[in-house]
Chain A
């Protein structure tokens, strides 16, 4: 497993990162989209590949669409994510007008790596699990459930960290939703 030693500094850092992810979830659920964009680094990569059903032994090669090569649900940079927010805020983006009700649950947050060290980390990689619930108009309900690996960089902001990279494994093959207007 090669995991970091479970020291008190490790647990403090882990709690700090879990708190950051909760803050981010609140920004999204509270529709503070521009504040959420401020949490994203200028060089962010937001990556949500697709998942295939493949034969045992071929998962490494075939299960997940490949970054930089294949089609995905998302492989966005900051410009594109900013466009997505701008679109929601036009008031005529019918897939989010009226707004959906969305709640992000993040859990199982664990620090995987910390650079240069757990004691004075400026770059952290954290994995977590999420449930994103979306209720739309009257009867529409969607659950997006999966795994995240986030890279966070320490910065001098109120939150104290910015999101540099998010890898999302969404546990669906055929997407069981008409749209992905929510940020995962």
Chain B
């Protein structure tokens, strides 16, 4: 079942000792095993509904290494299909997006509707007199969820419903998807998905977004020059300092999810942001006040970053985006980055955010370029036989977390590698083929064991 024989993948991950074997980041067989054990079971982000607003709209996405079509059918129902003809496997759609009434395979012209039904087969009456077309639709995911506009899917009919899958991580995803004024949902994607290839294992960036605050030093160059929305006003760093005085929290949840969010001290008021643009600053000040009014004490919590197991991450504030780290090979990751704004924000706010996101994020982003270099060479430096004899150290802030923290989950109030320890524990459970109940009781076991 696995490259690890009887000992199982758990032998490569030691959350109690804070040790993870390097092979999980470079090994071909482990990568192959992940495709079945992780990516055909877990919930994966595929698209945002604002990318396919009209009947017939489609967006071609990925789940793991496989191409899928996110399609809004003529009745406006959203489907997620494997992008592969039932006859010989040709991709039935090789466009990134568009609008169509049907998907016709270029190879033998089997034709499928936007709802996935097999509509036509050439020379059907002569060649396939007994074909029951209802048995040969595009392969559709058994579970799909449109959560506040974000569309998620899993190939596992037995996977927990999406919100159960998220558990207490839901609150933090909400903080990212909800309006800046605290209203529910209402975010949209800015058109144009960044897609690029990083020569690294997909788990390096996924882990980074669990809340690796320790790597701040790596962004010294951008922090020195200042590229944030108050840079011209003299604010150094890569974003505004609005949460500098907040209590930062790192929280791990059942299922391997982990987030880094921040709590405003009760006595602290609005912290100025977007100071280079008075009208935008005024907008955010009003959002802050509305959110206070709407949410009360709960408004103190704001998002920073997080990873929802296995490979969807978010940036919750500056910038604001959903990122998917598609496995592309043991040492190759295809990143897709979807940028979020409040749909009802004024044009000048959207314009400013769009420009800020571009200079911060992605392969041309002044902040993230240095991340890509790190993940590239962390992978490259772990491939050799000697390197692989020496596991990684994940012992940062061992025994420094609490189950009774200011937010739900296992919580650290100092920079911590607790989230990756729990993430890789969940990863090993998936890889060893454990049941959903087993995977979703690891946190309780950890708590029982006093870690």
Contact = CB atoms under 8 A, between A and B. Distances in A.
Interface of A: 48-50, 52-55, 58, 62, 65-66, 68-76, 79-80, 83-84, 86-87, 90-97, 173-181
Q: Which residue, A50, A62, A95, has most C-beta atoms of chain B within 10 A?
A: A95
Interface in B221-263: 221-222, 224-227, 231-232
A75 B227 CA distance: 15
B193 A87 contact: no
B127 interface: no
Nearest to A54: B95
Interface residues of B, number: 44
B95 A175 contact: no
Contact of A53 (B95, B225, B351): B95
Contact of A177 (B190, B222, B357, B363): B363
A174 B222 contact: no
B197 A178 contact: yes
Contacts of A178: 196-199, 363, 372-373, 376
Interface of B: 94-98, 100, 190-199, 218, 220-222, 224-227, 231-232, 334, 339, 351, 354-355, 357-359, 362-364, 366, 369-370, 372-374, 376
29 contacts: A54-B95, A54-B96, A55-B95, A55-B100, A69-B191, A71-B194, A71-B354, A72-B192, A73-B362, A74-B364, A75-B358, A76-B359, A83-B226, A84-B366, A87-B222, A90-B221, A90-B225, A92-B224, A93-B221, A93-B369, A94-B218, A174-B334, A176-B196, A177-B363, A178-B196, A178-B198, A178-B373, A179-B364, A181-B369
A66 B190 CA distance: 11
Given A62-B97, A87-B225, A71 B373 contact: no
A94 B192 contact: no
B69 to A, nearest CB: 13
Contacts of A73: 194, 358, 362-364
Nearest to A64: B192
Contacts of A92: 220-221, 224
Contacts of B197: 174-178
Nearest to B199: A178
A95 B358 contact: no
A71 B193 contact: yes
B363 A175 contact: yes
B252 to A, nearest CB: 29
B98 A66 contact: no
Given A178-B196, A178-B373, 14 more contacts: A48-B364, A50-B193, A50-B194, A52-B96, A58-B98, A71-B357, A87-B221, A94-B218, A95-B370, A97-B221, A174-B195, A177-B363, A178-B372, A179-B373
Given A94-B370, A174-B195, A181-B369, A83 B225 contact: yes
A181 B222 CA distance: 13
Contacts of A83: 225-227, 231, 359, 366
B194 to A, nearest CB: 6
